[in-house]
Structure 1
Amino acid sequence: MSIMPFTTLTCPLEGEPLSRTDGGWRCPQGHTFDVSRQGHVNLLPVQKKRSLDPGDSKAMIAARRRFLEAGHYQGIAEAVSRRVLSHGLAHESLAILDAGCGEGYYLRALAGVESARRLSLLGLDISKWAVQAAAGRDKRMQWVVGSNAALPVPDQSLDVVLCMFGFPTPAEFARVLKPGGLLLEVEAGPDHLIELREIIYPTLKAPRETRQAPAPGFAFDTFDAVRHERSLGSAEQIADLLVMTPHLYRASAEGRAKASALARLDVTVDVQLRSSRRL
């Protein structure tokens, strides 16, 4: 795999193209954005934050990194990589955004696949802790603190957008994707982590209905499912799974106590991969 620099960023204040300088990025209006020691850039202005420290916490990112590096979601990463690399013609390069990249697991997995494709990779997350962790692991990608609500990339500049268990913003995704571009959304299926959910909740909500109509500006392309079982063989792995998900905050104190008492848990990984094509 050939990984190329991602250079088509835009100013989050003016929307104009950013140019790389010695220590950061600069727009024609004079706004500058420094590159951190880890190598990422913060393109989330303070006036556009809804809290002082938005997104996943440092503890959530550390737990997710340990859980993912143990291979529990490797099947998801492999399915995503296959779908992305099948997009377009084999000789074409691809500009790819992971919108809500977390600590970068899925982009690193994609970059590690043997392929003749040339990829330009951008990982974006609203959590500074996530982007710091991602940038510290792999310098080949461009890592950005930013928001899916206002993606800092030009119109029709991307071939692929990934939204992995994230917060989809279809209008923004349609804006930044080229005509024919791929939007790949990964969502929890009805049985995803059901064994954990049965322990931490007194009753389970009915599964959400599968979306029947594509978002405006898109046409459904393919629908795939990834399902397998994983064994969590320690209290630490079970705790990491709980901490890295929103279930930590939704569960009752009693439910969290039940989970913390476990030394082993077999869980179902059940996710849906929905790809759509930009019209």
Structure 2
Amino acid sequence: MNIIPFQALACPLDGAPLHRNGPTWRCAAGHSFDIASQGYTHLLPVQQKRSRDPGDSKEMVAARRRFLNAGAYQPIAAAVSRAVLVDLPPGATPRCLDAGCGEGYYLRQLAAAAGAGQTLALLGLDISKWAVLSAAKQDPRPNWVVGSNANLPVLPGTLDRILCMFGFPVYAEFARVLKADGQLLQVDAGPDHLRELREIIYPTLKPERTIEAQAPEGFTVLATETVRYLLDLSGAEQIADLLAMTPHLYRASAEGRAKAAALTALSVTVDVRLTRFGLEAKR
């Protein structure tokens, strides 16, 4: 496969095209953004931040990197890669954004799944500078940027695929940057996802409602797929890493976290729903 960086970036201050000149991205108005020595670009202006250091911490990113690189979620990555690559015209160079890329695992898996003659233009974006730094260190080929899904630094109508993995979808922004025939691939936790862990850290579980995939405004559902399997976790560190990369780390009580920390082995159900959305035809 041939992986190239996605280049159709937009200035996060005025939306104008960014052009690269050496180690700097610059728009016509003169706004400039330096490319860090590690290969990523910070495109999250201070006025768009809700905190001084938004997103996952350095420790959370390290936990996610260890857990995912061990292959625990590889079946999810394989399903996502198949969904990205299906129905692509021969010889095309699809442009793909991972919106909320974390440390880049799913884009690296996509790159590995692409065929020998396939070229992909990849962009990974996350609000956490620690996540983007980790992603850039592991694979320099895609374009990696610190940015927000609420204000994607991407030119309109330039993307063929968007991934949103357990993330924070901003559908109006996704619709703005997708091509007319582009697709959004969204992965969400199913009702039984990590149930065994949740049963340990919470006193009771709320009843889960199985809801059919609903298309957000401007989109239509193309296909849905459930990825479900049993995952055996061995060692306190792997269990701690899983907990650290989920919202349950903060939602659980101190007692619940202590119960999880005492575990040395656990089998958990992985249950996720992959939905492919297409843009509604404009009338």
**TM-score, normalized by the shorter chain, greater than 0.5:** yes
| Aligned ranges 1:261-276 → 2 under 5 Å | 261-276=262-277
Identity %: 62
Does the CA contact (< 8 Å) of 1:155 and 1:175 recur in 2?
A: yes
Measure, in 1, the Cα distance between the counterparts of 2:214 and 2:255: 39
Shift of 1:206: 2.3
Does the CA contact (< 8 Å) of 1:87 and 1:182 recur in 2?
A: no
The DSSP-based 3-state class of the residue aligned with 1:148 is: coil
Measure, in 2, the Cα distance between the counterparts of 1:29 and 1:222: 42
Measure, in 2, the Cα distance between the counterparts of 1:114 and 1:131: 22
| Aligned ranges 1:73-222 → 2 under 5 Å | 73-115=73-115, 116-222=117-223
| Aligned ranges 1:29-44 → 2 under 5 Å | 29-44=29-44
Measure, in 2, the Cα distance between the counterparts of 1:125 and 1:18: 18
Does the CA contact (< 8 Å) of 2:94 and 2:160 recur in 1?
A: yes
Deviations 1:57-87 (A, max 9, x none): 1111000000001110000000000010103
Name the counterpart of 1:69: 69
Shift of 1:208: 4.7
Name the counterpart of 2:50: 50
Partner amino acid for 1:18? L
Partner amino acid for 1:95? R
Residues 87 and 147 of structure 1, relative CA distance in 2, 3 Å threshold:
farther
List gaps (5 residues or longer) in structure 2. Answer: none
Does the CA contact (< 8 Å) of 2:213 and 2:275 recur in 1?
A: no
Does the CA contact (< 8 Å) of 2:61 and 2:130 recur in 1?
A: yes
The DSSP-based 3-state class of the residue aligned with 1:159 is: strand
Measure, in 2, the Cα distance between the counterparts of 1:97 and 1:204: 34
Shift of 1:89: 1.5
List gaps (5 residues or longer) in structure 1. Answer: none
Shift of 1:224: 0.2
Does the CA contact (< 8 Å) of 1:159 and 1:178 recur in 2?
A: yes
Does the CA contact (< 8 Å) of 1:11 and 1:27 recur in 2?
A: yes
| Segment of structure 1 superposing worse, 1-10 or 170-179 | 1-10
Shift of 1:207: 2.2
Measure, in 2, the Cα distance between the counterparts of 1:193 and 1:158: 32
Name the counterpart of 2:227: 226
Does the CA contact (< 8 Å) of 2:213 and 2:221 recur in 1?
A: no
Name the counterpart of 2:244: 243
Shift of 1:92: 1.6
Measure, in 2, the Cα distance between the counterparts of 1:214 and 1:181: 15
Measure, in 2, the Cα distance between the counterparts of 1:209 and 1:147: 30
TM-score (norm 1): 0.98
Deviations 1:19-40 (A, max 9, x none): 1011110011111101111100
Shift of 1:91: 2.4
Name the counterpart of 2:278: 277
Shift of 1:163: 0.3
Deviations 1:165-219 (A, max 9, x none): 0001011001100112110000001111111000000111222542553112111
Shift of 1:220: 0.6
Residues 181 and 114 of structure 1, relative CA distance in 2, 3 Å threshold:
closer
Measure, in 2, the Cα distance between the counterparts of 1:210 and 1:131: 33
Partner amino acid for 1:112? A
Name the counterpart of 2:59: 59
Partner amino acid for 1:188? A
Name the counterpart of 1:14: 14
Name the counterpart of 2:4: 4
Does the CA contact (< 8 Å) of 1:97 and 1:124 recur in 2?
A: yes
Name the counterpart of 2:24: 24
Partner amino acid for 2:237? E
TM-score (norm 2): 0.96
Please identify runs of 4+ aligned residues in structure 1 that moved more than 4 A: none
